[in-house]
Structure 1
């Protein structure tokens, strides 16, 4: 399984969980994550895509804080 596929799976989970844990609702971060998740770059753009994807996931994890884990 590729990293991008795993991050797409994480996107589904985060979009479902974040509204219950983060107030106010992080609309910009969720939209950024969904937008990056929908991208399917060519192989030469895959490295940058995975980096943007991971940063979008990390932004939401940071908002959730340490108490969520």
Structure 2
């Protein structure tokens, strides 16, 4: 639930085949209830769960992209 001091809107950019980009700083609540924070001005959140630094993106998704079909 937002408190009075953190009601400022944050921009979230969803990328195709990549991370969600969130203007920081952010506090993420994980599915087990723990919290993870980042004070960076732009935070890349892993959407594919392949990151070794989950929930933050480490570009592991790039290794798993399918190659375009040959003509």
Which structure has more RCO (C-alpha within 8 Å, separation ≥ 6)? 1
Q: TM-score normalised to the size of structure 2? A: 0.24
More strand by share: 2
Q: TM-score normalised to the size of structure 1? A: 0.25
More helix by share: 1
